[in-house]
Amino acid sequence: MFGIVGIVLTFAMVFGGYVLAGGKMGVILYSLPFEMMMIAGAAIGSYLLSNDSHTLKRTLGGIIKAFKGPKWTEADHQDVLCLMFQLLKIARENPVALEQHIENPAESAIFTAYPRLLADHDVVSLIADTLRSASLNYDDPYQVEEMLSRRLATLREEAMHVPHALQTMADALPALGIVAAVLGVIKTMSSIDQPPAVLGKMIGGALVGTFLGVFLAYGFVAPLAGRLGGVIRQDLAFFDVIKSVLIAGLHQHATNLCVEVGRQTVPDHVRPSFNTLEAALRDLKKAA
């Protein structure tokens, strides 16, 4: 919602200020299709050239994600803490019974109770793989922590490919705007015998290219890349919560304490309160 408001406000203020200052939209509107064709076409072409198919496939989804905002809510953080509580409790009481849950999460009564978590492959695989490793006596907390850190670093690097690619495009747009402007100047120079009024319009049209490149770079694409990067970082913080609970569990802390360690890791604006989480855990104990 705020993204749409930001775009509307940017366009309204820039072009509104131009018109109020006495600027004429005619020259801009006449040159806009041609300049946009050159600048946007070159930007998209270079984007295709500089990125692999995996990044290209994720670009549209990334743009949509930037406008939708972070995936994980406060309720999701409470759910993952409750899920981890149940799994760690089973791992402590009956490690054999844990196997059916981590080997086939889609049929696990615990995982299926949290459909949003189950639908995320990265969340499920991170939890299942780590608990499986622990069940194979791979229980050195420091080894597991290093393993999880490397895995999350890889996940973070892959997730940030699209924001980095968009930022690279934003950095290139002003230069592409200059390219379009130079072509406009070349066109103007070929008509140097025309009257000043005609030449003025042609030069003005050429300068639209410079304006458009800078405007698209700093008014739209760069903010979009920054917004997407921020959303991704917030979503990746969800995995840090899971990691902290798993590591606390391997240190053989009490299950409730492991969950509290995870709760403290949750970003403040989506962190469930201690009392709310405790009430949810009490309900799980009663239902067990």
DSSP one-letter string for 179-216: HHHHHHHHHHHTTTTS-HHHHHHHHHHHHHHHHHHHHH
* Range from 195-199, 265-269, 280-284 that averages highest in pLDDT: 265-269
Alpha-carbon gap, residue 26 to 12, rounded angstroms? 17
Q: CA 164 to CA 205: how far, in whole Å?
A: 32
Mean pLDDT of the 90-105 span: 87
Q: CB–CB of 87/127 below 8 Å?
A: yes
Output the six-digit token pair for 228: 């997407």
Q: What is the mean pLDDT of residues 9-17?
A: 88
Angle between helices 121-135 and 141-159 (to 10 degrees): 160
pLDDT tens by residue, 124-135? 999 998 888 877
pLDDT single digits (tens) 162-181: 999 999 999 999 999 999 88
| Structure confidence at residue 223 (pLDDT) | 95
Checking if the pLDDT of 261 tops 90, the result is yes
C-alpha distance across the termini of the chain, in Å: 41
CA–CA dist 48, 55 (Å, integer): 10
User: What is the dihedral sign for C-alpha 201, 202, 203, 207?
Assistant: positive
Q: What's the whole-number average pLDDT of the chain?
A: 89
Residues above pLDDT 90, as percent of the chain: 57
Q: What is the pLDDT of residues 63-73, one digit of tens each?
A: 999 999 999 99
pLDDT score for 139: 59
Q: Is residue 137 scored above 70 in pLDDT?
A: no
Judged against a pLDDT cut of 80, whether residue 205 lies above it is answered with no
Give the confidence band of 2 by pLDDT, cuts at 50, 70, 90. Answer: confident
236 or 208: which leads in pLDDT: 236
Predicted TM-score (pTM) of the model is 0.86
Query: What is the mean pLDDT of the segment spanning 28-50?
Result: 91
Q: Are 81 and 244 in contact (CB under 8 A)?
A: no
pLDDT at 288: 62
